[in-house]
Amino acid sequence: MNNAQLNELKQRYVASGAASPATAFAERAENAEVWDADGNRFIDFAGGIGVLNVGHRHPKVVQAVKDQLDKVMHTCQTVMPYEGYVKVAEKLSQVTPVRGHPKVMLANSGAEALENAVKVARAATGKNNVICFDGGYHGRTFMTMAMNGKVAPYATDFGSMPGNVFRAPFPVPYHGVSEDEALRGLKMALKTDANPQDTAAIVLEPVLGEGGFYPAPPSFLEAIREICDEHGIMMIIDEVQSGFGRTGKLFAIEHSGVEPDIMTMAKSMADGMPISAVVGTDKVMDASGGNSLGGTYTGSPVSCAATLAVLEVFEEENILGKSQALGDKLASRFESWQNAFDCIDNARNMGAMAAFDMVSDKANHTPDAALAGALCKKARENGLILLSCGMYGNTIRFLMPVTIQDEVLEEGLDIIERCLKELT
Ligand code: PLP
């Protein structure tokens, strides 16, 4: 079927909240390139959506999946355990910077991991409240939507949400929230609303993802660690987007040296196969017993095989080093654009988790979400998949495979430069 035929089916059968506004249907993909149903080629600077740090269909992962399909495709972990699950658990326990001796549970999506992380935090502390941050994004289940800060277009109007979720400011000095102010806001949230005796967890992304790729300063993370220790609150670090090598370390929190009680991860874990994990200190993870952390498909054997292959690729192909080098290349190109274009304002990167903001008035940093949208649209028309994000909708973010070939990278960056010239 071609794009036109598929679009007709989409209009007729796909729920509007689930339908992509894009009209080119992905048919095949390799590393950082995707071809649509009409045979058009796209360079993928979105990496699926931050899922493909080792590239579309990495041969080693494809082989591991094929091998697993020949053995067992499904058994429910809670009914009959299998090797892949315990091996992934062993590996994640060894590589995550969680306190003490970490134990692991697997799930299918980022939001599910967050749901379970909060579940174990509540079980371990006997407390209910959760504090999250402005600009944070944690998923589209009811609880995670309650946890999300204001991140267009996910702000919702579905009525009241379950759970006692309170919010604190995330430090974005660039938009007038200093680290001190953010910390004061957090302490105030604890004092006035959440109450330390009732608060089970403080949940944050070490680098805001959907909220605009702002890294949390290490001292801010340290201060949260101290607050959590003082009040017996679980520190939950959401690495769904920042984890698995994007920032030049396996997990972004490693840049700070802070050890959380619980971590969530998903996206680039299995090169696109659905899987997520909660990794937490053993005492905490074991607090929610009685078969409470499973599900029919959680940690499927096929996704586990893909995860183990991804971790091998990390070692064999120096993905962390490549992520750092890619980040450096992006940063230098951003700098040249900042000098050349009035609409390009603040640029930032932690490894290859890189972004810049688009503005209508550089002196006042006035966000220009419309221009960011126009750039993404024009890029798509020119064969480049590019995404915007951010609390103000004006951030252009870069999530291409870390394995992208140099010439494909340059081609994609040149498309952006041409589009910027045409738009300004
Ligand atoms: N947490 C973060 C930091 C994310 O970026 C996302 C997705 O973008 C999620 C959670 C939700 O993950 P999923 O879409 O797999 O439910």
- The whole-number pLDDT of residue 253 equals 98
Distance of CA 214 to the CA centre of its chain: 12
The reply to whether ligand 1 has any atom less than 6 angstroms from the CB of 108 is no
Q: How far is the CA of 422 from the centre of ligand 1 (A)?
A: 33
pLDDT tens for 20-47 read: 889 999 999 999 999 999 999 999 999 9
The string of pLDDT tens digits covering residues 113-153 is: 999 999 999 999 999 999 999 999 999 888 888 888 866 55
Please, are residues 246 and 53 in contact by the beta-carbon 8 Å criterion? yes
Best mutation site among 130, 147, 267 for ligand 1 pocket (most ligand atoms within 8 Å of CB): 267
Q: From 49, 138, 263, give the residue whose CB has the most ligand 1 atoms within 8 Å, as the site to mutate.
A: 138
Q: Is the CB of 110 under 6 A from ligand 1?
A: yes
Choose the weakest-confidence range: 71-80, 160-169, 189-198, 245-254: 160-169
ipTM: 0.99
Q: What is the pLDDT of residue 64?
A: 98
Domains of the chain as residue ranges with CATH: 3-54+318-423 (3.90.1150.10), 62-316 (3.40.640.10)
Please tell me the distance between residue 336's alpha carbon and the centre of ligand 1 in angstroms.
Answer: 32
Q: How far is the CA of 223 from the centre of ligand 1 (A)?
A: 25
- Say if residues 354 and 46 touch (Cβ distance below 8 Å): no
Prior bond of 215 cis (ω within 30°): no
* Structure tokens, 395: 């951030």
Would the CB of 111 count as within 6 Å of ligand 1? yes
Residue 154 has pLDDT above 80, yes or no: no
Please state the atom number of ligand 1 nearest to the C-alpha of residue 209: 5
Please give the mean pLDDT across all residues of the chain.
94
Determine the distance separating the centroid of ligand 1 and the alpha carbon of 138, expressed in angstroms: 5
Question: What is the b/e burial string over 382-420, where b = at least 16 CB atoms within 10 angstroms of the residue's CB?
Answer: bbbbbbbbbbbbbbbbbbbbbbbeeebbebbbebbeebb
Ligand 1 neighbourhood includes 139 CB (under 6 angstroms)? yes
- The gap from C-alpha 9 to its chain's centroid, in whole angstroms, comes to 30
pLDDT at residue 157 in the model: 54
User: Residue 156: pLDDT above 80?
Assistant: no
Q: Indicate whether residue 116 lines ligand 1 (CB < 6 A).
A: no
50 pLDDT band, cuts 50/70/90, is: very high
Own/partner long-range contacts of 247-251 (Cβ < 8 Å, ≥24 apart): 247/207, 247/323, 247/327, 247/350, 247/351, 247/352, 247/353, 248/320, 248/323, 248/324, 248/327, 248/350, 248/351, 248/352, 249/320, 249/351, 250/95, 250/96, 250/314, 250/320, 251/96, 251/97, 251/206
Q: Is the CB of 239 under 6 A from ligand 1?
A: no
Q: Which atom of ligand 1 is nearest to the CA of 267?
A: 15
CA of 296 to the centre of ligand 1 (A): 20
* Interval 236-252: pLDDT, tens: 999 999 999 999 999 99
Measured in Å, residue 274 CA sits from the centre of ligand 1 at 12
